[in-house]
Structure 1
């Protein structure tokens, strides 16, 4: 007996010593080199461009790290896939997403009992992300994925993520190193849950460094043993032989089961994950839905509304024979197909809710079988998506309330509806000016002041604004509208057939090329890359801009905030943005062609406050000016891969379809193109040497107040506004900081500049180098950014002959008339009280 005990003790000691030694020593395929963010052999053109063929690991590569590309090693008798990432190494995304090298696996797209996705493999963990904050420590090595019906979360939400956090111990030299890893399941509390409020982090087990650990993850649907009419959506994992099962909340909303694995997230340091023996299988069983018919007038999500007492699910064919309401702020309505019978059958969709139909919509009631209300204060109109066809000749109706006496840009969400169905409806309360209605189309080719054409009840055929009973609104076209009702029910009504496919608007290059287009669906649409990048779906700017059909001068959309009277500018590089249902907006065409909307862009997910930023941790400054109650702003973003010149998709001009009397903008830090920018994206380095020119248009002799919302300012840096007229620097990144200035002219070119620097003191040479010199026209040289005092200007041709010399006293900007000169390269020599500056210009 003693001998057996001694043998066990010796065996335990040997195993413990082996584990300890193994944890302290580097694995044969471990990267022990100096930490770097990026390496030349880690760069990749796209997320899928650098992979091995053949390879040991299953799945499609998603490489968003410039530290190292996917490689393989042979160790312990197995071939290992190597997944190494470092902090800040994601150069594929410009919206602050975490680095990753993962593999995606095709998803189980059905929700029937027995549908599942199953992944197996052998895991080794060598290193995970480390920070000074334990909440940010660790790296995900595997995750369960799957979309759901209704609103909430990202476009491609994680259901749960398996997180490895470091446990430290001494190495042979007494240094604290990662010796093992606590494994957690970060699981949603509800569909779309994110952050501390939306997810729980549950401890599962501990894995030693470099220990070979078998893994199985199965995500799928099974029958609920407590209720055979219900299903359980589950994510069951087996880690090192121990099962960790979990039931996903709101199983009725799940539409997919998917899995990704690799290495994802490193908020500090480096992560090194190894995978071998990977396999994947999936089973897809269609759900056995039933036909559910309404029993009485009532709430869609109340059992008594339906025959049999069961609320319809996404698998059921639904027949509505009564007035059924999807109540506001509810969980939404789901159906496989939707049929509305003859009157009184009607589906009412209230504010802040949604309807999801995977198949066809069939209507018998001719005018308003489906009606959407957007009449609640701060209420967002409900949304609908469907995957099949829509009955021709049957109309859906929307009733939308707007703020009285203000102008808005709206869209036509139907297939060529009749104008009179809006203008003649008793609930439409348009403002009028004589016989002209406050409802207008836009044509940029017309002269300033006449670009909008208002529908006119007094116009005759051939006259502007004429319409009759046959006149229709254009597909995917935007319109301007203003309402005023004596009873304060400031509504407008539209009705028609919903689009069940792609929709296009024919762009015009007339005038300055601005076109007023509109969302053609009663749903939100992915507008930019951040909104759709998670699952690779299309977005409006990607499809129609420089990465797609290349129809636009700029990958930018301009939206009018009618309540606040300001333009909102969005581009591909901004925070996630979804176009609202019924929203009209401007784009600028560089060529004729069809601006296209696809149903794959649709989502029920609404926007947060449009002025809130996402948590992408990038340095960003929103600079605003206020005059009385009116406030406008411009944005400066510091992003990887940007330049100081114009970066299409990341820099955006202010709206130029027609002038505004109050606006703030920036000019390019690099080569001046005359562009006035609403958004300027700059390199995420060398902040101190990038002085941003600020321009203001306002009434002469008015007082304006500058404020800045500075996010994620780098340590040691501060944000200053320079006023060269008054020779002042004012720090704006502190709480409640502001600067008040009186402007004597309508424009302020050359007066205001924004600095990100470690101190307010500025070298004279640095200020001189920020002076911009360019041709404003063929016979005028413009100098912007001058400090107060005497300035001498000389112009020399290419052989050194002086062809112009002048002197003046000024600050801000100065225009100089040029003599008639031959075409060619010239050098401008600028001499001020702070020094000399030479700049080259080309006269053509």
Structure 2
């Protein structure tokens, strides 16, 4: 007809129709009709300001439900978001509606639009079109009310965009929040605030078989609801939410993850489960297929061997006493220093330092202490030192490691020791670790800090290295040591030491301040020289203690201070073991021994070549005041024999004497009893290059003149007896 006011609402058209019907005579052409339309629209436009003033608060442009009701709008129970959507629609109307009837149309249109937004969101935010919304899908859709139960999520019809979905979410949460006091009165005992399973059942709650702890957790959730739910349906939502968030605990009837009897709920955990693996069990889980978890926590003393990907955060805990430093490592990948600092209460030192120390074998001090500003990822296989402010668990969170781990070790300017650590949530055998890395480390030995001293472990005393345990190795060259995933096991408890019942003795020396020891084992097929994996020197990565005791090799002695020495199990009575100590002059020290499984009738004698005495220390200690500071061998020797050496004169056998190059221009001689001795050094052509007379009891260092590189023969003569040894000058 040529009428140009398009986009008219039903109300506007109805008003125009009324105006047309009221016109007399009725308009007969488009031009006349246009005048009627314009007049009607103009009349509507003129009615604008009054309604906006009437239904907004103090002219602030914000509609409230009370204002809508006062204006005659009948859609009550609108959420803040719905009212905001209506306000947007009102503002968009041109011209704006001027009365309640027109405004009602806008309200109806806005609400209808929300109700009509159905299929798209179901396709966009449901899993494989199965009509089930998940919390993750809500979050992806931009919905901010997380932690919703399945009942809350199941709105129908589903809205088609995040904004509309948010309105439904808000409505569901608001409905729960509004259900307040009745349930608390109906399902608690005598108003004492304690829910029982019977009361839950009576209230229509279907989650039966709840434990006391679970009911207590539900009660906490109910009490925390503000306002609390008022009927069984609402309470059921709280129960469901509380139960879904409760941890599922490993029972350990077997190692099979998929065995329902291994779980506290008698069901295999889901991807939404919070899982706890506790300590003190006989069996721990090993998995061969991929897992997804909401969270997984491995408690101190427990273990877990994943052989396939685990999706979800994994937290490992290790109980550490307060007041001491402990060597630790991360048994999970992607752990960060900032996470360690945030999740542990670390000791505070001077200058802003905290209880994290990183070891360095370069020049300078061995420990670099961190501050609270330290960031970055902690590499798998690296060891660090940790000191907690209070006794408790050291906690680290990351991703489960399922692969072999290669950790770099280096030669250093100060030492060649490197601090590494178990990168798995299960135990690693120290002997197998040493064998796997024998080409990269000087000896198949690890050194572990045990609260007050470094303890040496090798194949004579292999241990199961605990998850998260740090330890030292000594590099023979730069390279990557390997932690093989195949070298993992579960253990019944947090067992560090596992000694075999071998023939052995442990020699102790103590003063008023401390006590130290060294071990000697007698093992078939071992030698009096160096046996890799069975002879181990003391830890030398930090400053030495003021009191030390050690032994040296009977043959092939290079001056290494041994914490563990292994000797043949045969011919025990013919072997004399050099004993060295480090101690201050003028201080009394006491020697004692603890023997295990030695042959019947064998006693252990300590020979003091300065005092010229033998003491059977199998049954009593030997006390001595050192006239001079002790820093090596030469004064003390151990004899294992069935003879009574306290009443027998022993003629020295020069095979007990050790000769070795102690520096490139010196030779050390230990074990001589006679004061008078001589030394001759010959080239390989038989030319005598040095001859020297000297007096010694114990240790003597002979300085050599400057000589060409090569092999030389050292000859020592004492009491008409002679011993020779080859040395190499480099």
Equivalent of residue 501 in structure 1, options 385, 389, 403? 403
- The change in CA–CA distance for 1:682 and 1:606 in structure 2 (over 3 A counts) is farther
Q: Which residues in structure 2 correspond to 1:508-547 (within 5 Å)? A: 508-511=410-413, 512-528=415-431, 539-545=432-438
- 3-state secondary structure, aligned to 2:333: coil
User: Contact 1:405 / 1:431 at 8 angstroms: preserved in 2?
Assistant: no
Q: Would the alpha carbon gap of residues 566 and 745 (structure 1) be closer, same or farther in structure 2, given more than 3 Å must change? A: same
Alpha carbons 2:316, 2:425 under 8 Å: kept: no
1:472: how far off? 0.9
- Structure 2 counterpart of 1:815: 701
Q: Which residue matches 1:347?
A: 275
Deviation at 1:779, TM superposition (A): 2.4
Q: Distance in 1 between matches of 2:467 and 2:212?
A: 26
Q: Does 1:568 align with 2:470?
A: no
Q: 1:359 to 1:827 in 2, by over 3 A?
A: closer
Of 238, 248, 256, the residue aligned with 1:324 is: 248
Match of 2:298 in 1: 372
Whole-angstrom CA distance in 1 between matches of 2:326 and 2:364 = 19
Partner Cα separation in structure 2 for residue 407 and residue 625 of structure 1: 25
| Deviation digits for residues 793-830 of structure 1 (CA, Å, limit 9, x no counterpart) | 44456676655444444321112222344556655454
Question: Structure 2 matches for 1:605-684, cutoff 5 A?
Answer: 605=491, 613-615=499-501, 618-628=502-512, 630-661=514-545, 662-684=547-569
SS at match of 2:285: strand
Partner of 1:705: 590
Aligned to 2:285: 356
Deviations 1:335-359 (A, max 9, x none): 22864554xx422333323531433
Q: Greater shift after overlay, 601-610 or 806-815?
A: 601-610
Pair 1:645–1:320, CA change in 2 (3 A)? farther
Secondary structure of 1:483's match?
coil
Label 1:433 to 1:621 Cα distance change in 2 as closer, same or farther (>3 A). Answer: same
Q: Which secondary structure state, in structure 1, belongs to the residue aligned with residue 288 of structure 2? A: coil
Residue of structure 2 aligned with 1:483, choices 381, 388, 393: 388
Q: Distance in 2 between matches of 1:597 and 1:828?
A: 44
Structure 1's 503 and 829: CA in aligned 2 closer, same or farther, altered over 3 A? closer
Which of 466, 482, 488 is matched with 1:580 structurally? 466
What is the CA-CA distance between 1:837 and the residue it aligns to?
2.1
Change in 2 beyond 3 A, CA 1:585/1:837: same
Once the two structures are superposed, the pairs formed by residues 440-451 of structure 1 within 5 Å of their partners are 440-444=357-361, 446-449=362-365, 451=366
Would you say 1:434 and 2:320 are equivalent positions? Answer: no
Determine which structure has the larger strand proportion and give its number: 1
CA shift digits 1:437-485 (9 cap, x unpaired): 22122222x1142x32222236xxxxxxxx33xx110111110111223
- Is 1:453 matched with 2:368? yes
Corresponding residue of 1:388 = 308
1:330-341 to structure 2, matched below 5 A, reads: 334-336=256-258, 339-341=269-271
Contact 1:430 1:492 in 2 (8 A): no
Q: Does 1:555 align with 2:448?
A: no
Residues 370/298 of structure 1: CA separation in 2 closer, same or farther (3 Å cut):
farther
Structure 1 pair 331–695 and aligned structure 2 pair: CA distance change class (3 A): farther
Deviations 1:692-749 (A, max 9, x none): 1111123343332222221221234222111111111122334xx3222223314142
- Partner Cα distance (1:727, 1:669) in 2: 20
* C-alpha displacement of 1:633: 1.9
CA distances 1:487-542 after superposition (whole Å, capped 9, x unpaired): xx4443211111122222122233433221111112212222xxxxxxxxxx3122
- Displacement of 1:390: 0.7
Deviation at 1:363, TM superposition (A): 4.0
Aligned match of 2:180: none
Q: Which has the higher contact order (CA 8 A, sep 6+)?
A: 1
Q: Do the aligned partners of residues 607 and 513 (structure 1) sit closer, same or farther apart at CA in structure 2, a change above 3 Å counting?
A: farther
C-alpha distance in structure 1 between counterparts of 2:324 and 2:704, whole Å: 46
Larger radius of gyration: 2
Residues 1:598 and 2:515 are matched in the alignment: no
Contact conserved, 1:827 with 1:838, CA < 8 A, in 2? no
Distance 1:710 1:297 in 2: 53
Cα pair distance change 1:358/1:797, threshold 3 Å = closer
* Alpha-carbon distance between aligned partners in 1 of 2:398 and 2:310, rounded to the nearest angstrom: 11
* Structure 1 pair 611–581 and aligned structure 2 pair: CA distance change class (3 A): closer
Q: Tell me: CA distance 1:509–1:823, structure 2 relative to 1, closer, same or farther (3 Å).
A: closer
> CA offsets, 1:747-786, max 9 Å, x none?
1421111111222437655443311122222322222112
- Cα distance change, pair 663–387 in 1 and its aligned pair in 2 (3 A): same
For residues 294 and 691 of structure 1, the distance between their equivalents in structure 2, rounded to whole angstroms, comes to: 74
The Cα shift of 1:294 comes to 12
Aligned-partner SS, 1:693 = strand
Check conservation: 1:297, 1:323, Cα contact below 8 A: no
Equivalent of residue 634 in structure 2, options 750, 753, 777: 750
Structure 2: gaps (5+ residues):
1-206, 215-242, 260-267
Contact kept in structure 2, 1:623 and 1:707, CA below 8 Å = yes
Q: CA separation of 1:612/1:542 partners in 2, compared to 1, >3 Å: closer, same or farther?
A: closer
Q: What's the C-alpha RMSD, in Å, of the aligned pairs?
A: 3.1
The aligned runs of 1:69-148 (5 Å cut-off) are none
Mapping of 1:763-778 within 5 angstroms? Answer: 764-778=650-664
Cα separation, 2, equivalents of 1:294 and 1:772: 79
Check conservation: 2:682, 2:712, Cα contact below 8 A: yes
- C-alpha change, 1:297 and 1:494, in structure 2 (3 Å) is farther
Unpaired runs of at least 5, structure 1: 1-292, 301-318, 375-380, 459-466, 529-538
Aligned to 1:657, the other structure's residue is in SS state: coil
Deviation at 1:582, TM superposition (A): 1.3
Shift in alpha-carbon separation, 1:719–1:383, aligned structure 2, 3 A = same
**CA gap 1:652/1:295 in 2 versus in 1, 3 angstroms:** farther
Partner residue of 1:131? none
Residue 727 (structure 1) aligned with residue 629 (structure 2): no
Greater share of residues in helix = 2
Cα gap change, 1:581 to 1:752, in 2 (>3 Å): same
Give the secondary-structure state (helix, strand or coil) at the position aligned to 2:284: strand
Indicate if the aligned counterparts of 2:299 and 2:318 stay in contact, CA closer than 8 A: yes
Q: Distance in 2 between matches of 1:346 and 1:748?
A: 57
> Is 1:294–1:322's contact at 8 Å kept on the other side of the alignment?
no
Structure 2 SS opposite 1:750 = strand
